[in-house]
Amino acid sequence: MSHNLGRNSFGDPANAGNLMTIEEANTLLNEWVPNEKLRLHMKQVAAVMKAWAIEKENADEQTALKWELAGLLHDADWEKYPDDHCLIIIEELEKRNIDPDVIHCIASHGPSYFGVEPNNKMDKMIYAFDELSGFVHAAALIRPTRYEGLEVKSVLKRLKSPAFAAQVSREDINDAISRINTSLEEIIQFIIDHQKDVN
């Protein structure tokens, strides 16, 4: 399930600024990820990452695209190569000469699995959003009205119930939140607001 990448350097600094379009990333996803639910997860994380970059980090278009691409591709190899997740997508992006920031961000989305520490804000936010995005979605899916009327406090309550979405690591969530200057409550609200219309 997890793969310690055994390295901390990703991509080539000469490729800084070299991105791909969202269409190209979606083409890759459609080829690599037959599971629609998993694709939705990546689209949700991408939407939240992009929104955070623009609203909270004053990111320009190019920077926002970096955040979005990292979100969109972070689990691209998970379905077909679970034992080598996320090495395969990293190697693919290195082959395509993609900006090292995007690759490092993907490599650091689970420090306890991949052995890569989140360095910058983009790295830290994908780590914070990844598990919580899936958790918020699970909390929405069990409600008749889904995201409509979903409140932060009910998500918090479910987090305290170990049986609900038991595969989501509460430890990772707490660790990720401890690395940023934003509360768990605010992150959950941001996720609800920005992924509710993604499909």
Q: What 3-state DSSP class applies to 150? A: coil
Q: What angle do CA 171, 193, 196 make, to 5 degrees?
A: 90
The minimum distance between CB 26 and Fe ion, in angstroms, equals 16
Q: Which stretch binds Fe ion (CB under 5 A): 12-20, 70-78, 111-119, 120-128?
A: 70-78
The single residue among 68, 99, 130, 172 that binds Fe ion, judged by CB under 5 A, is: 130
Q: What angle do CA 2, 5, 6 make, to 5 degrees?
A: 130
The minimum distance between CB 42 and Fe ion, in angstroms, equals 7
Phi/psi class of residue 21: alpha, beta or left (left: φ > 0; alpha: ψ in -120 to 50)?
beta
Q: Which stretch binds Fe ion (CB under 5 A): 49-57, 87-95, 111-119, 126-134?
A: 126-134
Q: Which stretch binds Fe ion (CB under 5 A): 67-75, 120-128, 171-179, 186-194?
A: 67-75
Q: Cα–Cα distance between 72 and 74 in angstroms, integer?
A: 6
Residue 101 is a binding residue for Fe ion (CB under 5 A): no
Indicate if the alpha-carbon torsion angle 134, 135, 136, 138 is positive or negative.
positive
Residue 77 is a binding residue for Fe ion (CB under 5 A): no
The minimum distance between CB 29 and Fe ion, in angstroms, equals 13
Binding site for Fe ion (CB under 5 A): 75, 130
